[in-house]
Every structure is written in C-alpha cells, then in structure tokens.
C-alpha cells in the first residue's frame, strides 16, 4: 500500500491516463467559459492556468463564507425563554398555582412539626399524637416529590415533542431543570425566616446584611457563569463534529498521511473546551468560598445576639428555643446558598433552552401539505416529463453567495434516458436536489408533467418521486 503520489510514480500507464483525463477536463472547462472566443493554442493554455487559479481562490472564499459558525448569545437571558419553557408544562398560571399550594402546604406542615418539637421539649407531658404528626409530615414530603417529578417529566416531554416537530433532523437532549426545586426552596426560606424572626426578632438585622452579601456574590457569579456556559456549549460542538468527520473520512486521512494534522486540530478543539470547563470549576469554587464566609458571619452574629439578649435578660430564651434558633439559622444559610446557587444553575442551564429556541426560530421549509384543491391528481406524475425553465439555485440562504446552478433550461421527455457528466462541484447533485425542492430556488421553474413543483406540497413532491442511488 502506498500513497496516491507513489501510485502515479510506479505506474506509467496510470499516470498517462490521469494526464489525459486532466487535460480533457481543463480543455472542456476553458471551452465552457470561452465558447465564443477564438484564441491560439498558446493563449488557450495560458488562459487555462489563469482560470484554474482564479476558480480555486473563488472556491476557497465561497467555502469560508458559506461555513456556518455557531453564534454565542450575550447578556442576560430574556424572560420569553423562561415563559416558553414553562408553557410546555401545565401552563404558567395553573402550574404556578399548583406549585404554590403544594409548596405552602408542605412547608407549613414542616415548620409546624419543628415548632411542635420545641414546644414538646419544654413540656414533656405533651406526648399525644406524636406518631400522627410525624406520619403527616412524611406524607407531605412524599406528595411534593411526586408532584415535582411528574410535572418535570410532563413539561420536558412536551417541550421535546415541540422541538422535534420544528427541527425533525436535529437531535435534542433535554435536561431536568431545577425551576420547581427553586420555588420550593423559596417557600422553605420564607418559612424559616418567619419562624426565626418570631422567636428572635433581632436576627433579622444579620439576616438582611448576609442576604445583601449573598446577592452581591450571586450577581458576580451569575454573570460570569452564564457566559462561560454559553462558551462551553459553542466550544463543545466542534469537538464532536470534528471527531465524527474524522471517523467518517478516516481512510482519506490515512491515505494522505494527515493523521498528525487532524490530531492537532482535534486537540486544539479539545483544549478550547477544557479551558472553559476549568474556568467553570474555578468560578464555582470562588463563589462557594464567599458563600461560606457570608454564612459564617451570619451564624456568628445570630449566636452573639442570642447570648447577649439572654445574659442581659432583655429577652428570655429557653434552651429549646435557642437550639431551634441556631438550628434554623444554620439551615437558613444553607437554604439561601442553595437557592442562590440554583438560581445561577437555572440561568446557565436555560442557555440550552435558549439555543434550542434559536434553532426553532430558523427559517422553515415550505408547507408539507397544500389545500386539496391545489394538490396534484393521485396519478401524478404518470408520464415523467421534466422541464427546467431558466432555473437558478443556491444551497445557502445569504444572497451574496454565488449560485450553484445558473439559468438551466432543458426538457427531459417521458421515458428518455439522460446522463449528467461533470467534474466535482459542477452541480450534478444540485440538479437532482432541485427536483426534491432541496435548496433555495432563486429563479425559474421546474415542471413535471406540466405541473409546477413549487405549487405542490413537499410531501407530494418527495413521496411521489423516487431515486435509485
């Protein structure tokens, strides 16, 4: 086994055959561009080289312009993204009322059970209904978990179906977001704050100070994390696309001995994605340290205030109440940290929904079905006569790109066999794709059995025309 160059060097017959074919292709190319110009053989050879050089440069420029690079959104997430995702579930109003009622009932039962535990600790004679209260609290947690799981599953399934209808050819991997968990956590925070403020009103002051510090850290954390998540998504796509294209064309890569070049490209894409992931881990650790600092300050202030108030007899706290205050103060900081972190996670994860909605807003194809009075007869096409009338077509949407087919006019009669011959990139496949209405028809019309295929639905065109590869 050897390379293509080795084959040309070892076989004179193959080399001469290749040279003849190449010369014929170049002469045909020059004849197409200069069919009305009479030149000498020397001038023709010079013109041939000029055309090849110019064509190569133009093809490279067109390739660079037509290559689609995935864009990255900037700034804060728009509210319509959250609205579109929540509408995929039970709806905004019904879903909000459902989550509010279930969360309030569950958190109210949990707060009552904690207060009842502290009261029972002060009065040991109060022992009745202990099993019933514990069982009710556990049942409320079970109801909440079931409601949360079912609504997430229903919403994600509907959102997946919607995206699949809009973009049938794009694989979409959905995720289970934490919107509902965040709403439940807000009820937990409100309940804990209400209980601690009722038992220890002075704890509101350190709570407000700590909340301000947490939200300041959250603002800095969310802004960076959101942009890094978007950047991670845009740098992850080239890794998979390059790996897939390498596996598909592995024989070509090996035949040209370009393994090191393609490996270097893959490592470059992988390094870009790894850098972003490293920054995501670093920003999470940065935020965690500052959240812990704020929590430490809050717990210290609450403990100091409780000790001062008890020593000065300004407010009489029982040991059970102090234990309850400290316990809920610790849980309050944990809940606030969790809520703020989950709010950032929502923004970063909703960037995936943002990308999906961007894909769904792309230009769609023509309708698959047309009204019954405009549909072709069931026997169409019965003869198979194809007429191209000044057809111009391009694959890409931008109008500044050159046409792939230029003013093609021809007639293929019924039962007539026609061969299309040309070099790579001449438009052979594009000519076939226009019959299936793939691509953008810029000008002209195509008729099959005297019916313009532009007036027929895509399902009728693509189902009634078959091709043997």
DSSP string for residues in 37-97: ----HHHHHHHHHHHHHHHHHHHHHHHHHH--------SSPPHHHHHHHHHTTT-HHHHHH
First to last CA, the chain: 30
Q: Using omega within 30 degrees of 0 as the cis cutoff, is the peptide bond preceding 184 cis? A: no
Whether the pLDDT of residue 258 is over 70: the answer is: yes
Helix (H, G, I), strand (E, B) or coil at 446: strand
pLDDT at 268: 92
> When comparing pLDDT for 176 and 406, which is higher?
406
Span(s) in the chain for CATH 3.40.50.300: 372-464
- The architecture (CATH level 2) of 79-360 comes to Up-down Bundle (1.20)
pLDDT at 252: 86
Confidence of residue 417 (pLDDT cuts 50, 70, 90): confident
Q: Residue with structure tokens 């650790």?
A: 285
Q: b vs e for 50-89, b when ≥16 Cβ sit within 10 Å of the residue's Cβ?
A: ebeeeeeeeeeeeeeeeeeeeeebeeebeeebbebbbebb
- Region of poorest pLDDT, from 126-135, 350-359, 404-413: 126-135
Closest listed residue to residue 287, CA positions, set 233, 224, 346: 224
Strands 451-452 and 405-412: unpaired
Closest listed residue to residue 195, CA positions, set 104, 140, 138, 115: 115
pLDDT at 171: 32
Specify the CATH number of the domain 372-464: 3.40.50.300
Contacts of 44 (CB under 8 A, 6+ apart): 30
> When comparing pLDDT for 143 and 451, which is higher?
451
**Residue 111 to residue 324: CA distance in whole angstroms:** 11
**Residue 410 to residue 429: CA distance in whole angstroms:** 16
Q: From residue 124, give the alpha-carbon distance in Å to each of 117, 155, 272, 409.
A: 10, 48, 64, 99
Question: What percent of the chain lies above the pLDDT cut of 70?
Answer: 50
pLDDT at 15: 62
pLDDT tens per residue across span 200-220: 677 777 777 877 888 888 888
pLDDT at 120: 59
Whether the pLDDT of residue 111 is over 70: the answer is: no
pLDDT at 40: 38
Whether the pLDDT of residue 416 is over 90: the answer is: no
Average pLDDT over residues 423-429: 80
H/E element, 202: none
pLDDT tens per residue across span 39-91: 333 333 333 333 343 344 444 444 444 444 445 555 556 666 666 666 655 55
Confidence of residue 275 (pLDDT cuts 50, 70, 90): very high
> When comparing pLDDT for 363 and 24, which is higher?
363
Average pLDDT over residues 290-318: 77
Average pLDDT over the chain, rounded to whole? 68
Span(s) in the chain for CATH 1.20.1560.10: 79-360
Please state whether the predicted TM-score (pTM) of the whole model is above 0.85.
no
- Region of poorest pLDDT, from 86-95, 255-264, 331-340, 459-468: 86-95
pLDDT tens per residue across span 122-145: 555 544 444 444 444 444 455 445
Average pLDDT over residues 218-233: 83
pLDDT at 294: 84
**Residue 410 to residue 446: CA distance in whole angstroms:** 10
Eight-class DSSP state of 292: H
pLDDT tens per residue across span 359-388: 666 666 666 677 777 788 888 888 888 888
> When comparing pLDDT for 187 and 396, which is higher?
396
457 φ, ψ to 5°?
-65, 155
């Amino acid at each position: 086994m050897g390379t293509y160059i080795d084959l040309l060097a070892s076989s004179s017959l193959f080399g001469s055959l290749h040279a003849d074919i190449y010369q014929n292709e170049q002469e045909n190319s020059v004849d197409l561009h200069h069919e009305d110009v009479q030149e000498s053989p020397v001038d023709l050879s010079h013109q041939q080289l000029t055309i090849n050089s110019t064509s190569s440069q133009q093809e490279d420029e067109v390739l660079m312009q037509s290559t689609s690079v995935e864009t990255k959104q900037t700034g804060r997430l728009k509210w319509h993204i959250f609205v579109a995702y929540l509408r995929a579930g039970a709806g905004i109003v019904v879903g909000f009322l459902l989550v509010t009622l279930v969360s309030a009932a569950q958190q109210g039962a949990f707060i009552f059970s904690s207060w009842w535990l502290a009261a029972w600790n002060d009065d040991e004679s109060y022992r009745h209904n202990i099993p019933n209260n514990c069982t009710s609290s556990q049942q409320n947690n079970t109801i909440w978990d079931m409601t949360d799981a079912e609504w997430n599953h229903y919403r994600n399934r509907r959102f997946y179906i919607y995206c699949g209808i809009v973009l049938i050819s794009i694989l979409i991997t959905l995720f289970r977001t934490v919107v509902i968990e965040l709403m439940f956590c807000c009820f937990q925070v409100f309940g804990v704050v209400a209980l601690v403020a009722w038992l220890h009103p002075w704890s509101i002051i350190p709570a407000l100070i700590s909340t301000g510090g947490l939200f300041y850290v959250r603002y800095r954390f969310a802004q960076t994390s959101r942009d890094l998540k978007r950047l991670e998504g845009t740098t992850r796509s080239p890794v998979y696309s390059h790996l897939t294209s390498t596996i598909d064309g592995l024989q070509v890569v090996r035949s040209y001995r370009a393994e090191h070049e393609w490996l270097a490209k893959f490592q470059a894409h992988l390094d870009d994605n790894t850098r972003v992931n490293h920054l995501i881990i670093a920003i999470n650790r940065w935020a965690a340290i500052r959240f812990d600092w704020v929590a430490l300050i809050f717990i210290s202030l609450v403990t100091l205030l409780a000790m001062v108030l008890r020593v000065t007899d300004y407010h009489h706290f029982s040991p059970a109440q102090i234990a309850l205050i400290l316990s809920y103060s610790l849980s309050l900081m944990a809940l606030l940290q969790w809520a703020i972190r989950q709010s950032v996670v929502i923004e970063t994860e909703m960037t995936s929904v943002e990308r999906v909605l961007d894909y769904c807003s792309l230009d769609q194809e023509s309708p698959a079905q047309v009204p019954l009075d405009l549909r072709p007869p069931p026997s169409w096409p019965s003869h198979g006569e194809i007429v191209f009338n000044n057809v111009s077509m391009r694959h890409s949407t931008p109008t500044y790109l050159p046409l792939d087919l230029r003013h093609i006019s021809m007639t293929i009669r019924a039962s007539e066999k026609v061969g299309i011959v040309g070099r790579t990139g001449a438009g052979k496949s594009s000519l076939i794709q226009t019959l299936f209405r793939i691509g953008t028809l810029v000008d002209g019309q195509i008729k099959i059995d005297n019916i313009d295929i532009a007036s027929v639905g895509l399902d009728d065109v693509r189902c009634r025309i078959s091709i043997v590869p």
